[in-house]
Amino acid sequence: MPRPSVLKRMFADERVQIGYGLLLILLIPSAIIVATVATIARYSQTIDITLQRQALLVGRVFGATVWEQGIAPVTLQRRVEAVAAANADILGLQVFTPHRDGFEIIASVVPEQVGTVAASAYYTYAWQQAEREGLATDYLGEPLLGSRAGASTGDRYWLVTLPLFADVEGDGHRERVALLSLQLSSGIVDEQAAASWRSAVIGLTFTVLLTVLFLAAATRLWSYATLYRKIKEVDQMKDEFISIASHELRTPITAIRGYVSMAIDGDFGSVPEKLRTGLERINGAGKRLGDLVEDLLNVSRIEQGRLSVSFQPLDLGEVTGGVIEELRPTAVQKQLTCEYVAPTSPVKVMADPDRLKQVLFNLVGNAIKYTPKGSVTVTVSLQEHGGCVRVKDTGLGISAADQARLFTKFYRVASDQTRAISGTGLGLWITRQLVSLMRGEITLESIEGTGTQVTVVLPTPKSAAT
């Protein structure tokens, strides 16, 4: 179980993550909406100005025609039709002259309208207002050039109403003679604005979708990270537990073994043969238990980086010889030949004496343990790369598949011959860690059924110094 502080931190982390996600979901689409609206507004404004100019230009063309040629209905009608044909945006174009019942249409895009009279307050007002060229305001005070929605279609159009002047008296004096009404469709602008809006909505949808997918992936990564942290914490707690438990086990095991040894030695009085056998078994089991605890302690020390190595120049031949002498009785008990090929001259290495002994005990111990008959040969020599110890046996050997996993924790070869041999599967893992802590190298060659050879090379004081 993660501790409460861990849970609290995880929860706080997730809250930050959710907040960040929501902020992204709100911010990105909002930024896109604002940018799109601004672009469309700017675009519409530009097109509207262009339309206004176009409308005024048409007005001026008619102004010039009337100024030069007077109100000649046939000429005006021809011009109206020509302008309308050249400009698809023109919805309506009429020229009015004042009439006693209102205004009479004298030229129009729709020829049938010519001759009709309309009484319109709008035109009357425009007529009265139109003292100067250019824009007039309508009777509501709005510019006469303005955007309206079509009564039937609802489409927007620009309505322009301009007075037309002529020199009636021929004295150069300008007189209002007609009124021009022009309706310009803004359909193209509106259609383009709608298209821009549609593509913005599609873009927006994709962006929101991508943001959500990205956040989903990020959340998954986040939970993996949280899980990884949790696993690391549990792993650390396991290491601490093993370390504490091993320490606590070591003391009673030492006491049990000590008292059993004393009993075997007769310190508590004579020991009948049957009891001696039992006590020796207890001692053997106690030793195995002690070895296991020692291995576990070593594993936890190595994993927590608590295993210190103090380098010093050592005589590799001497240390190896000592270890062999300690283990020789076990080999002899198994009727194995235990040969030590010492170097002709001292082989100095830079290593930690206790760790080096531990390595040699493991390797020579394994060679004896996994060799039912034959020999164990240990050779020490000086090589190009450093001091070398070679432990060779004629034992069970290890298959290629098992060799690949041999140096992993708790790995033991499972076969009929190894089943009866007790062990933890930690020895080789610890050995490899110790060798690499001493900046050495370990290699293993083995043929199943023939034997095994393990080689350890350690730096010499000279090579360690460079």
Residues near ligand ADP (CB under 6 A) are 366-367, 370, 393, 395-398, 406, 411-413, 418, 423-429, 452
Q: Which is nearer to ligand ADP, 56 or 391 (CB)?
A: 391
Give 92-96's long-range contacts (Cβ < 8 A, gap of 24+).
92/181, 92/182, 92/183, 93/58, 93/180, 93/181, 93/182, 93/183, 94/180, 94/181, 95/62, 95/71, 95/164, 95/178, 95/179, 95/180, 95/181, 96/123, 96/178, 96/179, 96/180, 96/181
Of residues 365, 371, 447, 363, the one with CA closest to residue 403 = 447
- Within 245-293, strands assigned E span none
CB of 379 to ligand ADP, least distance (A): 15
Q: Which is nearer to ligand ADP, 351 or 430 (CB)?
A: 430
CB of 208 to ligand ADP, least distance (A): 57
Q: Which is nearer to ligand ADP, 92 or 425 (CB)?
A: 425
CB of 406 to ligand ADP, least distance (A): 5
Cα gap 315→349, rounded to integer Å = 6
Locate tokens 């097109």: which residue?
A: 47
CB of 317 to ligand ADP, least distance (A): 21
Q: Which is nearer to ligand ADP, 122 or 407 (CB)?
A: 407
Locate tokens 């120049």: which residue?
A: 313
Cα-based torsion angle of the residue sequence 336, 341, 347, 348 in order, rounded to the nearest 10 degrees? 10
Cα gap 94→103, rounded to integer Å = 11
447, β-bridge pairs: 451
Q: Which is nearer to ligand ADP, 17 or 418 (CB)?
A: 418
Q: Which is nearer to ligand ADP, 180 or 367 (CB)?
A: 367
Size of the chain in residues: 466
CB of 426 to ligand ADP, least distance (A): 6
Q: What is the largest CA-CA distance in the chain?
A: 159
Q: Which is nearer to ligand ADP, 63 or 423 (CB)?
A: 423
Cα gap 320→343, rounded to integer Å = 11
Residue 201, both tokens: 């909505």
What H or E segment, with its residue span, contains residue 380?
Answer: strand 375-382
CB of 10 to ligand ADP, least distance (A): 38
CB of 403 to ligand ADP, least distance (A): 9
Q: Which is nearer to ligand ADP, 90 or 391 (CB)?
A: 391
CB of 414 to ligand ADP, least distance (A): 8
